Chains A and B, each alone.
Chain A
Amino acid sequence: MAEVSVQNVTKKFGTLKALDDVSMDFPDGGFFGLLGPSGSGKTTLLRAIAGFIFVDGGTIRIGEQSVEHVPVEKRDIGMMFQNYALFPNMTVADNIGFGLRVRKVGAAEERRRIGEALELVQLAEHGQRKPHQLSGGQRQRVALARAIVTNPRVLLLDEPLSALDKALRVDMQIELKRIQREIGITTIFVTHDQEEALTLSDKIGILKDGRMTQAGPPRDVYNAPNDIFSATFLGDANILSGSGATDDLRRNEEADIRMPQGFDGKSTLVVRPENMSISLTKPDQEGLSKLKATVVQRVFAGAMATCILQSGGNTIKVIARDQEFPDLSEGAQVWVSWPQDKTIAIPAN
């Protein structure tokens, strides 16, 4: 187990900057998510930490060791691949034992540790099967067991759950977290699924166009995004903006917006849809921001419902439990309101 530190890392592919001055710390024993759209450089960063890619500049440390020039096979890492990459010609036990065999731990020790790893991922009975005889979830567990059986310093996961269907994915998220906590290994994973990142991570890093736009605990990033991209990529966000839109909002007589502290007049305002509520009459409570809007559409989605409204040039989305919405018909005039401290001001850059 070890901490990982990435400082000012740069990597170019031809003229494309895949990683541009990226820094992030991964303290020992934590669970970290790298999140971003495709092409954002998140997989490149993971592969650079793994050692498949050598970076052009910056430093990568695993524990006390600088590893920029250490190839992957010497880095002592465990990695799980998107399609699991199980060796089809070997049994489950041989797959898991591959890294141990390379390390020449001895036959008895090898058997013992394969047994332990199978136990840990709850596949004790499946050691002699071939990968093609397993279900998707089972393959995923084998891949995980194979990645951790050598007690690597870091565990790297590339889109670990993306090949599973939704129900199984939720189960595996819990399972993955349990195993990670049990062995206490520093774990870094890449995902484009924001929900997965929020659920699993102690800390997330958001990447866009090769740059790390924000890093921090998921709750902090969600509640205080420091740019529009983070705000919209992580969860839903209503952006009350556009050029001079905040001025429009102020001038709008049918709006009463309480500006958050530190508002400099040029910021973009962001409000999370679940923090807004809808009422038919103007709420008279103090400290609420209020905005008159027209109902465009109401979408029922089981437990939660979404209401889409139009106000001035802004499209506003409100999410709440279905019964919390008043009786709304399309085209109705309503008031949208939210507490002052739920308005996020993002400084213009």
Chain B
Amino acid sequence: MSTVLAKQDRLKIFGLLSPAYLWLTVAIFLPLSAMLYFSFLSDVPFGQKEWFHTTENYKAFFTTPTYSILLWKSLRLALMVTVISVFIGFPCAYVLAKTIKGRAREALFLLVILPFWSNSLVRIFSWAIVLRGNGILEVGLNAVLPFEVDVNLMFSTPAIVIGLVHSYLPYVILTSYLALQAIDDNLIDAARSMGAGKLTILWRIILPLSLPGLLAGAVLIFVPVVGSFMEPRILGGRVGTYFGTVIEDQFVAVYNWPLGAALSFVLLAVVLLILAISSPILRKART
């Protein structure tokens, strides 16, 4: 492909792209810039109160150990949710892409995408109904099992993880599915004809070839889960204090927007740093 485009082509491309860029500017770049500016202020610049420029908000993150402890807790949660989602989602995507054909596949796809169609609050509260003591899960298990069990997962880390995995699982299924479907079935047949068993084929053919999709899904899950606040708050209760919930508190409870903005940008920086560190590995996996 020619790298030098004719002037007319460039104009055409610019014309076609400009609505998208305009939207990005208005919807993302401007608000984010405002937030970045706020994060260097002592107070929100509307209202009667005095305000001045400061780096106090960022200093707060480094001087208050609670914040870094919570950030670490959020990163661990995101890692756990990502790993669980990958372990559930990848086999699921494999079955969808390679085993099931025709209408059954469409139906199962619908089930995978269904969480996207429901309101996230509704989704989380339905989990609350299932997971609480004397909830649907406990009643159901007791009806089936011959002995009494006591299941009360509500307000615990497992409840948060279950809720988050349920919300974000479709990402890893969809991206893995696309990558797996692109793998030619003949490659699997060829490997079998050379005597390879199922594990060898999975390890040396299917995983390497679908890794880009798998990793894209993992990133799509990891990044939002680090900053998640709704699931931890509703399903975690007292144990559900994470970096995301602290940021949310700054905005909706404490009304310390500058600190909330600063913590958000710290989070953004940490996530970008993690992606930057892991990108050589991702690139290596891609070739």
Contact = CB atoms under 8 A, between A and B. Distances in A.
Contacts of A78: 193-194
A85 B195 contact: no
B184 A76 contact: no
A85 B205 contact: no
Given A85-B184, A85-B187, A87-B187, A98 B209 contact: no
Nearest to A146: B194
B186 A74 contact: no
Contacts of B197: 73, 102
A94 to B, nearest CB: 9
Contacts of A156: 193
Contacts of B191: 87, 98
B273 interface: no
Interface residues of A, number: 26
B192 A85 contact: no
Given A87-B205, A98-B204, A102-B200, A79 B193 contact: yes
B186 A73 contact: no
A98 B193 contact: no
A81 B194 contact: no
Contacts of A73: 192-197
B189 interface: yes
Contacts of B193: 50, 72-73, 77-79, 147, 156
B186 A103 contact: no
A57 interface: no
A262 to B, nearest CB: 46
Given A87-B205, A89-B209, A72 B192 contact: yes
A78 B205 CA distance: 18
A52 interface: yes
Contact of B194 (A71, A83, A88, A98): A98
B208 A89 contact: yes
A150 interface: yes
Contacts of B189: 52, 72, 79, 81, 85
A91 B121 CA distance: 50
A81 B190 contact: yes
Contacts of B190: 79, 81, 85-87, 146
Contacts of B195: 73-74, 76, 99, 102-103, 150
A99 B194 CA distance: 5
A92 B85 CA distance: 35
Contacts of B194: 73, 78, 98-99, 102, 146, 150
A81 B204 CA distance: 19
A47 B192 CA distance: 12
Contact of A81 (B186, B200, B205, B209): B186
Best-buried of A78, A98, A156 by chain B (most CB within 10 Å)? A98
Nearest to A98: B194
Contacts of A76: 195
A185 to B, nearest CB: 14
A121 B227 CA distance: 56
Contacts of A87: 187, 190-191, 204-205
Nearest to B183: A88
B186 A85 contact: yes
Nearest to B187: A85
B181 to A, nearest CB: 15
Nearest to A130: B287
A73 B199 CA distance: 12
Contacts of B186: 81-83, 85
Nearest to B209: A89
B196 A98 contact: yes
Nearest to A100: B194
Closest 10 CB pairs of A and B: A99-B194, A85-B186, A79-B193, A85-B190, A89-B208, A102-B195, A81-B186, A72-B192, A73-B192, A102-B196
Interface of A: 50, 52, 71-74, 76-79, 81-83, 85-89, 98-99, 102-103, 146-147, 150, 156
25 contacts: A52-B189, A71-B192, A72-B189, A72-B193, A73-B192, A73-B197, A74-B195, A78-B193, A78-B194, A79-B189, A81-B189, A81-B190, A83-B184, A83-B186, A85-B189, A85-B190, A87-B187, A87-B205, A88-B209, A98-B204, A102-B195, A102-B197, A102-B200, A147-B193, A150-B195
Given A77-B193, A81-B186, A87-B191, 4 more contacts: A52-B192, A73-B193, A73-B197, A102-B197
